[in-house]
Amino acid sequence: MAGRKEELSGKPKPRKRDASRSRGLILQAALEEFSEHGHSGARVDRISRRAGVSKPLIYDYFGDKDAIYAAALKESYVQIRQAESELDFDSVDPEEAIRKLVRFTLGHFREKPWFIAMLNTENLRGGSTIRTLEDAAGVQSVLLQRLTEILRRGADQGVFRDNVDPRDFYVSIASLCWFPVSNRFTLASVFGLEMDDEWYAQRAETAAEMLVAHLKNPA
């Protein structure tokens, strides 16, 4: 919490024996460790080495491994929300806003691999941890609000159909962006795909194409 406060105040003061700084280091280390090795594969020992702090300190701050995991899971949502909040959709028309959102989503999944890793891990575990996180719902609301607004603008302008549920539509967007990134290793092996930057750029365009066509289709 102290850490959050500092972030908000914009005054990062890294120094030795700084509790909030240590906490942040641990959190980032945990995020990396859990996303690279999953819940059971993660090692508290490695987290402590990655963070450069002793193990007892970690237990002091978080309690136990599950609590570290929960904090890391939450952190992954916090980080993606932050990135999303910096997006600007207001200066472009609705169709372009959708394309922009698609490109951003796929790019974000690729650039921050721990988000997909953490969520896959959590779903593998049946979502038992995310259910216990407070305001888990609130964390995604920003994006949803902005998507809702885009869809309404499009409907108002008569370019989009007006019976599209934003949540369902977001699921479609996420689906098309998630799978090619999440399953990149098995896809490469099984389909022999060469998944370089160009392939992903093409993926984003195809996805945007499908999604926009769906919105424009009067159905």
Residue 149: C-alpha distances to residues 27, 94, 136, 143, 160 (Å) = 34, 9, 22, 10, 12
Nearest approach, Cβ of 119 to DNA (angstroms)? 20
Please give the Cα distance from 41 to 39 (Å, whole number). 6
| Interface pick for a second copy out of 94, 180, 204, 208 (rule CB under 8 A) | 180
178 binds a second copy (CB under 8 A): yes
For residue 199, give the amino acid letter.
Answer: W
Q: How many residues in total does the chain contain?
A: 219
- 117-176 residues near DNA, rule: CB under 7 A: none
Contact 89, 146 (CB under 8 A): yes
Is residue 123 near a second copy by the rule CB under 8 A? yes
Lookup result for tokens 């098309």: 176
Looking at the Cβ atoms of 88 and 168, the one nearer to a second copy is 168
Residue 18 phi/psi, 5° resolution? Answer: -115, 110
Residues 33-72, mask of contacts with DNA (x by CB under 7 A): ---------xxxx------xxxxxx-xx---xxx------
Binding flag, residue 3, DNA (CB under 7 A): yes
Which of 10, 16, 192, 213 lies at the binding interface for DNA (CB under 7 A)? 16
Binding site for DNA (CB under 7 A): 1-4, 16-19, 21-22, 42-45, 52-57, 59-60, 64-66
